Amino acid sequence: MRIIADLQIHSKYSRACSQDLNPYSIGLWADKKGIQVIGTGDFTHPKWLKELKEALKETKPGLYQLKDKSAKAYFLLTSEISSIYKQGEKLRRQHTCVFAPNFAAADKFIAGLEAVGANLKSDGRPITGIHCDDLVKIALEADKRNFIVPAHVWTPHFGAFGSLSGFDSIEEAFGQQAKHIYAIETGLSSDPKMNWQISGLDKYTLVSNSDAHSLRKIGREANAFEIAEKDLSYNKIISAIKNKNPKEFLFTIEFFPEEGKYHMDGHADCKFSCGPEKTKALAGICPVCGKKLLVGVLNRVAKLADREFGFVPKNAIPFKSVIPLEEIIADTFNVGTGSKRVLEVYEKMVGAQVSKSADKQISSSVEEKKRSDVHKTNEFEILLDLTREQIAGISSREIAEAIIRVREGNVNLDDGYDGVFGKVHIFTEKERSTLLRKPKQMGLF
């Protein structure tokens, strides 16, 4: 069974996060998105941990479900720690994810953090002075099965390789403890193809998670595993990540990196962005205001790369680039993602009944059989699996065309930079005006 897992999100107790992020709504949205395993986020926060313990029960080894059974998704205990400290005369700021196999292991890890003076109450993603290597020690002393993943490694401010705070290798960041790092999170502004340019990263499994700060962003990046439902457990997921075996770890689901808000270099206030070459020519200075440009992910990757773009390492896990369904609908209508029309169509689509079989020419006896696999679809099934006809059947042929184009990578992107998200364009202005001229033919429109 394909298991889609998003192992980094935040709760309502993290800074700048939606108050709607409670266990029940997270479960509901995981189901809508087609996520089978969702990170809890923020388990180091005392109030959130209490809510999780009240709402969840362990139904598979190391995996939890809502006690009231209002959602199918399994929860895996995840947290993210912010470390800020000085090393080698440079201020280091890094986010590191720690996953735990059960509440007991989470409690011990929390006790370890408190023992070194960490204030966990202040934020769902606590800010500490704990060095990366010490963090690994604390996590593993608490429980050997705790699993450590450097978060969004390329982001300028808080990534292990970030332009403002980072290191040039996992070894430099984690020292003696680097041997306990098996995976790194690529973040929204980079995809595996960019990371494959760096031979030093071949030994790590590249994972992708949403780092969602609100419900609708859950699953914007994720991981797909092949695990039999009877075998599903915390250990099985961690070993699938550690083993990096393409039979177990099928692919990651990625943002187009250009859409990420730190892809290119630039200065948001001046609406100026550019690539690494131009930044070099400008000596890193914004040509509009004279301030420093924020050096983005593409630039950092280029600095550390020792291979050409396009190189595929032998043991690489493949990836699929997607655009969240709401953005696809919004682009088709040429309206904002939050608009009423988009939300209505989205809800209709993710709640629609579909058959696993796309074959319409079926005899009645077969039809009988197929009726049984009619089920409520979800966002990932729509984005990844359904045929053009099936998608058109639950929306319109234009939306189906848009989804097929995204699958084929047939999109235009404005690059993100300095905290400004990039933009996706699936249809050209001309195409869209022709489409919108015939609203009556467009089913749900």
By CB under 5 A, name the binding residues for Zn ion: 95, 151, 267, 270, 286, 288-289
* 73 close to 35: Cβ distance less than 8 angstroms: yes
- DSSP code, position 293: P
User: Minimum distance from CB of 21 to Zn ion (Å)?
Assistant: 15
User: Minimum distance from CB of 351 to Zn ion (Å)?
Assistant: 32
User: What six digits make up the tokens of 420?
Assistant: 């400004």
- DSSP code, position 439: G
3-state secondary structure of 49: helix
CA distance 256 to 194: 11
163's CB contacts (< 8 A; 6+ apart) are 156, 294, 295, 296, 299, 300
* CB of 289 or CB of 312, closer to Zn ion: 289
CA distances (Å), origin 399, targets 50, 332, 342, 384, 395: 42, 7, 11, 14, 7
* CB of 148 or CB of 411, closer to Zn ion: 148
CA distance 33 to 432: 27
User: Minimum distance from CB of 444 to Zn ion (Å)?
Assistant: 37
Query: For the chain, percent helix, then strand, then coil, each to nearest 5?
Result: 35, 20, 40
User: What six digits make up the tokens of 172?
Assistant: 């430099």
DSSP 200-239: GGTTSEEE----BSSGGGTTSSEEEEE--GGG--HHHHHH
* CB of 131 or CB of 267, closer to Zn ion: 267
* CB of 32 or CB of 95, closer to Zn ion: 95
* CB of 127 or CB of 270, closer to Zn ion: 270
User: Minimum distance from CB of 28 to Zn ion (Å)?
Assistant: 24
User: Minimum distance from CB of 261 to Zn ion (Å)?
Assistant: 13
User: Minimum distance from CB of 290 to Zn ion (Å)?
Assistant: 7
User: Minimum distance from CB of 289 to Zn ion (Å)?
Assistant: 3
User: Minimum distance from CB of 84 to Zn ion (Å)?
Assistant: 12
User: Minimum distance from CB of 397 to Zn ion (Å)?
Assistant: 40
Q: Which amino acid is at 141?
A: E
* CB of 32 or CB of 217, closer to Zn ion: 217
* CB of 178 or CB of 268, closer to Zn ion: 268
Nearest to 33 by CA among 224, 262, 169: 224
* CB of 151 or CB of 435, closer to Zn ion: 151
3-state secondary structure of 191: coil
* 138 close to 111: Cβ distance less than 8 angstroms: no
* CB of 289 or CB of 374, closer to Zn ion: 289
Residue bearing tokens 């015939």:
438
